[in-house]
Amino acid sequence: MARRAEPLIRVAGGAAGGLLAALTLGTLAAVAANATGVARLDPADLAALRFTLVQAGLSALLSVALAVPVARALARRSFPGRGVLVALMGAPFILPVIVAILGLLAIFGRGGMVNAALGALGLPGVTIYGFWGVILGNVFFNLPLAVRLILQGWLAIPAERFRLAAALGFGPREVARLIERPMLRAVAPGACLAIFLICLTSFAIALTLGGGPAATTIELSIYQAFRFDFDLGRAALLAGLQFGLCAIATLVALKLTLPEAALAGLDRPVRRWDADALALRALDAVAIGLAGLFLVLPLLAVALSGAAALPGLPAEVWTAALRSLAVALASAAICAVVALALGLARSRGVGRWLDLAGMLPLAASPLVLGTGLFILIDPVADPAALALPVTALVNALLALPFAMRALLPALQQIEATQGRLADSLDLPALARLRLVTLPRLRRPLGFTLGLAAALSMGDLGVITLFAGSDGATLPLEIYRLMGAYRMAEADGAALLLLILSLALFWIFDRGGRVNAEA
Amino acid sequence: MKALIAAGLIALASTAAQAETPTLTVYTYDSFVASWGPGPAVKKAFEPICHCHLNFVATGDGAALLSRVKLEGKHTKADVVLGLDTSLTADAAATGLFADHGPLPKLDLPIKWTDPVFVPFDYGWFAFVYDKTKVKDVPKSFPELAKTNLKVVIEDPRSSTPGLGLLYWVKDVYGDKAGEIWKSLKHNILTVTPSWDAAYGMFTKGEADMVLSYTTSPAYHLIEEKDATKGAALFTKGNYMEVEVAAKLKSSKHQKLADEFLSFMTTDAFQKIIPETNWMYPVIKLKDGLPKGFDEYHPTKTLFLAPEKAKALRDSALAEWRDALSR
């Protein structure tokens, strides 16, 4: 297959991979190069490492396991409000962490709805703080992501297969075994990997919900090394450890991933004859209902506490919102281009190392990445002047692993089903992209753009290290408000962020599905 | 890309050459520069006096501020760094990047100020802040708190300066017994947050009974929200103090202007801005006195570790804290 890849695609894929490596490993090297002395791990680091691995692994497995029934239900049911629900469910992931945690606490916290209900019934309360609170928090953040990635896998199955299955008299069991499970083997390990890496490099959720220093992750140690000890060597060592874990996890996930046996489809709408039974309908209703409640109630809490302050937000919040919108759009465009370059190269069999490169941004410590970039940029340009472009670029790369998960299966399928015909016609690269690839890529590309835009909107990113006195983005403005007692206004700004992110996702995702029902 | 950066640099350089009024660059923390912070008012008050541009650069919080300066070293663009606190000054002084300050006016601080490098611009006491309608029996010491079932949120000393302040507070009062105090407080500590804003957010949402904040926090609610329900617990053995400081960089090309700014910082024109924007105490006696609410929670005793001593104690105190609360 490799022989078929045009030089253009090879070059583009290599450039995209190189960019990723430079921004992740290169920034790490920049930090390490500025270190003085040799760093070593201490026993507390090993405890942190163990905790990090256990919580990340368990969170990833649980998120994906719970996402399967929800994604299946969403894939085979259509009901009014389904699109809105899918969009809403993605919201936890795009909110600033502390805002989402406060939403979660409004439901599961000490003074939350669940405990109020238990108290009213005369039952003892439950506490969210502790190991399982960390897992609950991680699942809350990542379940939506898992649902969306797996849902993309389901939607990528051509309608003809279900048609054929129905013609052959397949029941739900056979459909699951012959169509759905192979798809899951292709999609689930990647989703698992992505969530594992997200949980690997976060610390605010674990610390805040973990109830104490037992819930210390490696990222917190990096934070500490930077801020109080200014031990760059130690920060670089710990960040390197995270990359090592990323490499191992990626290899494991690749081993578990089954390449999908692609069959051609005519891009018709899907009808599921196998899932009409009442019991299955009830099952799906329960899955959607529970997931919906779990994900939407905390968001509702965020929305309710923000609604009052929304109209009276200070002017700088609105300008920050505009700035964030611009960054989000730029970020989505960069992300789509890089993902397409990587995806095309991979689908034509170029460079397996690109798979690893595509996951690197998730394993990068945000603090090390930002600091490394700062070290590299500071001698040549004013970081404050480049704050927004750099933020857009970094956000784009952070969204890339998800973009790849969405685009690559679709690209591989297009390659497997249409590639030979395109080859035999000797289509030039750009014509092939325009005529063959892009039309079939509309749905995952719309999803990718929407997700990247929404993620960028909510990501604090590297802006904290780069922003001058003005030029703050909306998430930074939320932190500034919270840092100055202005909780009510921060709630209002968080609601604004939520609305804008959801709108961005919805518009792009919709755009990708125009004509889908025709 | 390189060409683009070069073009940008040339553009920047030429605008800098055209500018006739000098620009004083002050690195500070985020909340200082917000429209509701002291930054805009300070700029407005200082620029007519100095005939210069005052350029604030926000760098995150206090700890991030010091990291930034260390990262840039002698090449830093900062003329003045404003917003380090006394838990960071020993580290900052050790970098050798900062120059001594000039003579200071008569300061109104609970301690005698002898630091040759850092000039204080405000101070405050840490305290557990609570809702008066919910907490009736306010504990007056850590052991008293440990006897209650009150749930408190504290900040992590590894990532937040108030968290570090609490660590020193316990260490200062209880010395070798600090570890036991932390063990006895374990059931009170609802959770540990990475930063002050997360902890305070949880408190305002009613998740915790008390939060580690400042004695001046109730004044914010009183003045800005007309809400008199918040209180700050004063401990009989004293509350720990934090002093926020600024200093001039040796590498600054505007030494005179930087001195001028530091002098201005301890005048009434600057200091009167502080209470109702930074919610801390001014370091001199204000002509018009303090706003209402600032007198309500005045600790009987001030606890304070000299920066050098605090720095020497930090690692062992952290290990004690971690071991006691990790069980």
Domain ranges of chain B: 2-123+243-278, 124-241+297-326
Tell me the chain A residues in contact with residue B195 when contact means C-beta distances shorter than 8 Å: 483
Specify whether A295 is located in the same domain as A358: no
Do the first three CATH levels of B2-123+243-278 and B124-241+297-326 match, i.e. the same topology?
yes
Asked if the structure places residue A19 within a domain, the reply is yes
C-alpha dihedral sign at A243, A201, A96, B70: negative
Q: CB-based contact (8 Å) between B35 and chain A?
A: yes
Asked if the structure places residue A410 within a domain, the reply is yes
User: Are A358 and A20 a contacting pair, CB within 8 Å?
Assistant: yes
Radius of gyration of chain A (CA): 23
Specify whether A225 is located in the same domain as A250: yes
Specify whether A190 is located in the same domain as A328: no
Residue A113 has a CB neighbour count (10 Å cut-off) of 14
Dist CA A505 CA A87 (whole Å): 7
Interface of A with B in 275-304 (CB under 8 A): none
Identify the pLDDT of residue A247: 86
**DSSP states along B44-81:** HHHHHHHTSEEEEEE-SSHHHHHHHHHHHGGG---SEE
Q: Is the CB of B60 less than 8 angstroms away from the CB of A465? A: yes
Specify whether A414 is located in the same domain as A286: no
Specify whether A335 is located in the same domain as A483: yes
Q: What is the largest CA-CA distance in chain B?
A: 67
Asked if the structure places residue A363 within a domain, the reply is yes
Q: What is the 8-class DSSP label of residue B88?
A: T
Residue-wise pLDDT tens digits, A475-505: 888 888 888 898 889 999 999 998 998 888 8
CATH of domain B2-123+243-278: 3.40.190.10
Asked if the structure places residue A49 within a domain, the reply is no
* Residues 6 or more apart in contact with residue B142 via CB below 8 angstroms: B170, B173, B174, B181, B184, B185, B235
Tell me the chain A residues in contact with residue B33 when contact means C-beta distances shorter than 8 Å: 469-470
Q: Is the CB of B191 less than 8 angstroms away from the CB of A129? A: yes
Q: What is the 8-class DSSP label of residue A215?
A: G
Specify whether A280 is located in the same domain as A370: no
Q: What is the 8-class DSSP label of residue A2?
A: G
Tell me the chain A residues in contact with residue B193 when contact means C-beta distances shorter than 8 Å: 207-208
Residue B226 has a CB neighbour count (10 Å cut-off) of 7
Specify whether A251 is located in the same domain as A372: no
Dist CA B172 CA B303 (whole Å): 7
pTM: 0.87
CATH of the domain at A320: 1.10.3720.10
Identify the pLDDT of residue A263: 54
CATH superfamily of B124-241+297-326: Periplasmic binding protein-like II (3.40.190.10)
Give the H or E element holding residue B154. Answer: strand B152-155
Q: Give how many domains chain A has, as a whole number.
A: 2
Q: With both helix axes pointing from N to C terminus, report the angle between A474-482 and B196-204 in degrees, rounded to the nearest 10.
A: 70
Asked if the structure places residue A89 within a domain, the reply is yes
Asked if the structure places residue A437 within a domain, the reply is yes
Specify whether A280 is located in the same domain as A357: no
Q: Is A385 helix (H, G, I), strand (E, B) or coil?
A: coil
Residue A270 has a CB neighbour count (10 Å cut-off) of 17
Specify whether A286 is located in the same domain as A320: no
**DSSP states along A97-148:** HHHHHHHHHHHHSTTSHHHHHHHHTTPPP----SHHHHHHHHHHHHHHHHHH
Interface of B with A in 58-117 (CB under 8 A): 58-61, 63-64, 66-68, 70-72, 75, 91
Q: What is the 8-class DSSP label of residue A433?
A: I
Specify whether A391 is located in the same domain as A439: yes
Residue-wise pLDDT tens digits, B84-143: 999 999 999 999 999 999 899 999 999 999 999 999 999 999 999 999 999 999 999 999
From first to last of the 518 residues of chain A, give the pLDDT tens digit. 434 557 777 888 888 888 888 888 999 999 888 887 777 788 888 888 999 999 999 999 999 999 999 998 998 888 888 888 887 877 777 777 888 888 999 999 988 889 889 988 888 888 889 999 999 999 999 998 899 888 878 887 877 788 888 888 888 888 888 888 888 888 888 889 889 988 988 888 888 898 888 888 888 888 888 887 888 898 899 999 988 988 888 888 878 876 655 555 555 566 777 777 788 888 889 999 999 889 889 989 989 989 988 888 988 899 999 999 999 999 999 999 999 888 888 887 777 777 778 888 888 888 888 888 888 888 888 887 888 888 899 889 888 888 887 788 788 878 777 777 877 887 777 777 777 788 878 888 888 898 889 888 887 767 777 766 667 889 888 888 888 898 889 999 999 998 998 888 888 877 766 544 43
- Please tell me which of the candidates A213, A230, A485 has its beta carbon nearest to residue B67: A230
Specify whether A227 is located in the same domain as A252: yes
Q: Tell me the nearest-neighbour CA distance from B77 into chain A, angstroms.
A: 10
Identify the pLDDT of residue B30: 85
Q: Is the CB of A374 less than 8 angstroms away from the CB of B71? A: yes
Asked if the structure places residue A52 within a domain, the reply is no
Dist CA B136 CA B138 (whole Å): 6
Can you give the residue range of the structural domain that contains A164?
59-263+276-299
Q: CB-based contact (8 Å) between A251 and chain B?
A: no
Q: Which site among B67, B150, B217 would you substitute to test the A interface, given the most A Cβ atoms closer than 10 Å to its Cβ?
A: B67
Q: What is the 8-class DSSP label of residue B281?
A: B
The residue to which tokens 């109630």 are assigned: A297
* Residues 6 or more apart in contact with residue A186 via CB below 8 angstroms: A153, A257, A258, A259, A260, A409
Specify whether A371 is located in the same domain as A506: yes
Q: Tell me the nearest-neighbour CA distance from A377 into chain B, angstroms.
A: 10
Output the 3-class SS for A251-293.
HHHHHHCCCCCCCCCCCCCCCCHHHCCHHHHHHHHHHHHHHHH
Q: What is the ipTM of this complex?
A: 0.85
* Residues 6 or more apart in contact with residue A262 via CB below 8 angstroms: A412, A413, A416, A417
Interface of A with B in 481-510 (CB under 8 A): 481-487, 490
Tell me the chain B residues in contact with residue A483 when contact means C-beta distances shorter than 8 Å: 30-31, 61, 195-197
